[in-house]
Amino acid sequence: MNRKDIQFGTKAIHAGLEPDPATGAIMTPIYQTSTYVQSEVGVHKGYEYSRSLNPTRHALEKNIAALENGAYGACFGSGLAAIDCVIKMLNPGDEVISTNDLYGGTYRIFTTIFEKYGIKFHFVPMGDVSAVEEKVNENTKLIWVETPTNPMMNIVDIKAMSKIAKNANAWLAVDNTFATPYLQTPIDLGADIVMHSATKYLGGHSDVVMGALVTNNDHIASEMYRIQNSSGAVTAPMDSFLVLRGIKTLHVRMQRHCENGEVLANWLAKHPAVDKVYWPGFESHPNHEIAKEQMNGFGGMISFSLKSGKLEDAKKLVSSTEVFTLAESLGGVESLLGHPATMTHASIPKEEREKTGVTDTLIRLSVGIEAIEDLQKDLEQALAQL
């Protein structure tokens, strides 16, 4: 079931999967095994040792690759382990250009782990294509894009970045965690690597930590599998099963995330206590046209700031909601809210984060798929308490 003309919802449920050859089980079994019998030396059924390959993980890797219109998929113990794999493909002296409005953990692995191995990272405002072009030189090997960005919901033009990468003979990697392949398929727009924190929308139920990479490039794929096996940050059979199960409803969940997100973004924009609302669906969003072109919807991630500008108000708000829960993470069926300055982005220096808009009153919503009336009422009562 890997034909190109198959619709997303059908692929989500069937791509890469077949009934279990041993029993006919329609759902991919959890192959909770570390090793596999060999009938004689070197003769086996394609599986030798579960760090290298496990049937449950393999099914998930094929499924995610198909959703991203890629040929090769690999799953990892976390999103950061997937990022770790990409940067390990580089060599000392290589340079990476990335956005200055980056997931905090990505910034941390780049600057505190890989800089000391001689890889140089540039952080630029990627909404501005020329800011990226200025940093390109003969050492540029990778352009790392996140779009929409976290938490400012900036949109990066993937096609434009792909052009720059191709001219520089560099790879383009896109962190597609926020959009998911339901809303955006970066490989179709020229990306060489797509990365996911499957912890978020792909899993969708806040019960797994996992990462994934997808590529169409044979050389990148062989490096990806070599590093996956050599560094060993693989994901477990049970977790692979849970994410496979989650993906079966990805398209249905994303539709509702988008619908609920749209209602709340518009409502917040009119609320007297709210200053700015960041959501790519607004016509006033600086890159709304690009979002419309490269995405099939605007998603359920929204950030907003408070008119009062007071840190205490932001803290009060995030602890006054009843349906929205204060927690790190995003992309689950349940609505969450967070305070980036003290949570996800605490590892970014205050001066750096304020430059990108992560102020003391910025609040990030991961709008879930509950009844929209209850989500709106919840925010209404919490804002009324300020």
CA distance 316 to 124: 33
Position 150 contacts ligand PLP (CB under 6 A) = yes
Q: At what angle do helices 237-247 and 55-67 cross, to 10 degrees?
A: 30
**Nearest CA to 143 among 185, 94, 184, 82?**
94
Q: Give the number of residues in contact with ligand PLP, rule: CB under 6 A.
A: 16
What CA–CA distance (Å, rounded) separates 145 from 186?
10
**Structure tokens of 153?**
């919901």
Residue reference for tokens 């780049």: 110
CA 176, CA 149: separation in Å to the nearest integer?
Answer: 10
51 is known as an active-site residue: yes
- Please spell the DSSP secondary structure of 335-371, one letter per residue: -EEE-TTTTTTTTS-HHHHHHTT--TT-EEEE--SS-
Name the DSSP letter for residue 110.
Answer: I
Q: Does 11 bind ligand PLP (CB under 6 A)?
A: no
Catalytic pick among 157, 175, 192, 313 = 175
| Catalytic position from the list 31, 72, 103, 182 | 103
Secondary structure (3-state) at 18: coil
Single residue of 57, 58, 62, 200 touching ligand PLP by CB under 6 A: 200
CB of 178 to ligand PLP, least distance (A): 6
Contact 72, 221 (CB under 8 A): yes
Does residue 154 interact with ligand PLP by CB under 6 A?
no
Q: Is 36 a catalytic residue?
A: no
Indicate which single residue of 68, 84, 94, 146 sits in contact with ligand PLP (rule: CB under 6 A). 146
Helices assigned H by DSSP within 154-284: 158-167, 180-183, 218-231, 237-247, 250-270
Q: Which of 62, 200, 353, 364 is catalytic?
A: 200
Check residue 177 for interaction with ligand PLP (CB under 6 A).
yes
Rounded Cα gap, residues 81 and 230, in angstroms: 13
Out of 29, 105, 125, 190, the residue judged to bind ligand PLP by CB under 6 A: 105
CB of 210 to ligand PLP, least distance (A): 6
CA-based torsion, 152, 157, 160, 161: positive or negative: positive
Q: How far is the CB of 265 from ligand PLP (least distance, A)?
A: 19
Does 79 help bind ligand PLP (rule: CB under 6 A)? yes
Of 197, 216, 228, 260, the one binding ligand PLP (CB under 6 A) is: 197
Report, in Å, the least distance between residue 199 CB and ligand PLP.
Answer: 4
The reply on whether position 205 binds ligand PLP by CB under 6 A is no
Q: Alpha carbon 184 to chain centroid distance?
A: 11
Least distance (Å) between residue 80 CB and ligand PLP: 4
Is 201 catalytic? The answer is no
Q: CB 129 → ligand PLP: shortest distance, Å? A: 21
Footprint on this chain of ligand PLP (rule: CB under 6 A): 78-80, 103, 105-106, 146, 150, 175, 177-178, 197, 199-200, 209, 211
Show which residues are catalytic: 51, 103, 175, 200
